[in-house]
């Protein structure tokens, strides 16, 4: 008889509870995913109720407050707190986003925070992004050009405008980890973040390797596992449109 078993450590258990006293109007409760590979225990959801007036308005402010004043072992990535480094990506209230640009007041009720989905977890809210960044490196994310000009390469305003909606990507992988096709085929499908970056260089008038870049994506998985589910575009915290970039690559594939 077939037996279905959940993987070891997959069941999330109730964790510890911390309740601060304060102004009832500004009290907010956070349920935060905790997991530490070193203690051998299952993951747990810790509950922290804090006065948001003491922390600051953003989800990242609340996490920093909890780490600095309640539990210094809480682990997450962050750097810029301005939505430009991409390191604080996590799932907040069911949506992949940047904790530093997500306003606590935009969420009603208790706030549930988990790591980006379908990635190995290093600790607490830190996902293992090595595979995703290796895939990013595979598309050669730099301008390739055989000429060696004596001065900078110029672009017309129209050529430069083609990069808008692409250069703003902060490589947070919110889109990639929200994509069901990526969950199923992440070994061979590159995912929306890396494909948006691939198109960013395909669309760059200074790059002369368009044909080679398209050829490198010409297999059943790297590009064509995108089924236009659109989770990527719906979740992107920078309001970019990876699905459109992928569609543009597919169109160029047909025309080449
Ligand atoms: S396209 Fe958006 S969601 Fe995807 S990596 Fe770039 S900024 Fe993040
Ligand atoms: S801390 Fe840099 S994007 Fe959030």
Q: How far is the CA of 196 from the centre of ligand 1 (A)?
A: 8
Mutation probe of ligand 1 site: the residue of 84, 98, 172 with most atoms within 8 A of C-beta: 172
Gyration radius (Cα) of the chain, Å: 21
Measured from the CB, is residue 79 less than 6 Å from ligand 2?
Answer: yes
214-236 confidence digits (pLDDT tens): 999 999 999 999 999 999 999 99
Q: How far is the CA of 138 from the centre of ligand 1 (A)?
A: 17
Query: At residue 8, does pLDDT exceed 80?
Result: no
Query: At residue 142, does pLDDT exceed 70?
Result: yes
* pLDDT for the residue 34: 98
Determine the average pLDDT of the residues in 8-19.
Answer: 90
Determine the Cα–Cα distance for residues 172 and 83; give it in Å rounded to an integer.
10
CB-based contact 75:123 (threshold 8 Å): yes
Q: How far is the CA of 167 from the centre of ligand 1 (A)?
A: 10
Mutation probe of ligand 2 site: the residue of 63, 100, 129 with most atoms within 8 A of C-beta: 100
Question: How sure is the predictor about 2, in pLDDT bands with cuts at 50, 70 and 90?
Answer: low
Query: At residue 91, does pLDDT exceed 70?
Result: yes
Of 239, 133, 228, the residue nearest 186 (C-alpha)? 133
What is the assigned CATH class of domain 130-255? mainly alpha
Determine the average pLDDT of the residues in 130-146.
Answer: 97
Query: At residue 211, does pLDDT exceed 80?
Result: yes
Of 221, 22, 43, the residue nearest 135 (C-alpha)? 221
Looking at all shown ligands, the one closest to residue 174's CA atom is 1
Question: How sure is the predictor about 146, in pLDDT bands with cuts at 50, 70 and 90?
Answer: confident
What are the residue ranges spanned by the domains of the chain? 13-127, 130-255
Determine the average pLDDT of the residues in 131-136.
Answer: 98
Measured from the CB, is residue 98 less than 6 Å from ligand 2?
Answer: yes
Question: How sure is the predictor about 10, in pLDDT bands with cuts at 50, 70 and 90?
Answer: confident
Query: At residue 256, does pLDDT exceed 90?
Result: no
Q: What is the pTM of this model?
A: 0.95
Question: How sure is the predictor about 210, in pLDDT bands with cuts at 50, 70 and 90?
Answer: very high
Which protein residues touch ligand 1 with a CB less than 6 Å away? 169-175, 192-193, 196, 236, 238, 240, 242
Question: DSSP secondary-structure letter at 24?
Answer: G
Number of other CB atoms surrounding residue 77 within 10 Å? 17
Question: How sure is the predictor about 205, in pLDDT bands with cuts at 50, 70 and 90?
Answer: very high
Q: How far is the CA of 89 from the centre of ligand 2 (A)?
A: 7
Mutation probe of ligand 1 site: the residue of 175, 197, 237 with most atoms within 8 A of C-beta: 175
Query: At residue 149, does pLDDT exceed 90?
Result: no
25-54 confidence digits (pLDDT tens): 999 999 999 999 999 899 999 999 999 999
Question: How sure is the predictor about 192, in pLDDT bands with cuts at 50, 70 and 90?
Answer: very high
Question: DSSP secondary-structure letter at 50?
Answer: E
Instruction: Share the mean pLDDT of the chain.
Output: 96
Query: At residue 99, does pLDDT exceed 80?
Result: yes
Percent of the chain with pLDDT over 90: 91
What is the assigned CATH class of domain 13-127? alpha beta
Query: Measured from the CA of 239, which atom of ligand 1 is nearest?
Result: 2
Determine the Cα–Cα distance for residues 150 and 161; give it in Å rounded to an integer.
24
DSSP string, 69-128: HT-TT-----S-SSSSS-TTEEEETTEEEETTT-BGGGS-SSEEEEPSTTS-EEETTEE-
β-bridge pairing 44-51 and 13-19: parallel
* pLDDT for the residue 74: 98
């Amino acid at each position: 008889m077939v037996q279905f078993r959940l993987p070891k450590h997959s069941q999330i258990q109730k964790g510890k509870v911390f309740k601060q006293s304060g102004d009832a109007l500004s009290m907010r409760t956070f349920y935060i995913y905790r997991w530490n590979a070193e203690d051998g225990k299952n993951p747990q959801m810790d509950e922290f109720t804090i006065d948001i007036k003491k922390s600051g308005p953003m989800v990242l402010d609340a996490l920093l407050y909890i780490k600095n004043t309640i539990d210094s072992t809480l682990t997450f990535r962050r750097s810029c707190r301005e939505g430009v480094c991409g390191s604080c990506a996590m799932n907040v209230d069911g949506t992949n986003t940047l904790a530093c640009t997500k306003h606590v007041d935009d969420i009603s009720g208790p706030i549930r925070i988990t790591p980006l989905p379908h990635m190995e977890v290093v600790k607490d809210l830190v996902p293992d992004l090595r595979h995703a960044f290796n895939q990013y490196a595979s598309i050669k994310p730099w301008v390739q050009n055989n000429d060696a000009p004596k001065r900078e390469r110029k672009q017309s305003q129209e050529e430069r405008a083609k990069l808008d909606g692409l250069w703003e990507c902060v490589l947070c992988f919110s889109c990639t980890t929200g994509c069901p096709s990526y969950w199923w085929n992440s070994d061979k499908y590159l995912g929306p973040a890396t494909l948006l970056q691939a198109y960013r260089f395909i669309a760059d008038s200074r790059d002369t390797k368009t044909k080679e870049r398209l050829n490198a994506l010409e297999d059943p998985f790297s590009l064509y596992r995108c089924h236009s589910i659109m989770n990527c575009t719906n979740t992107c915290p920078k309001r970019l449109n990876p699905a459109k970039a992928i569609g543009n690559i597919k169109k160029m594939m047909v025309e080449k």
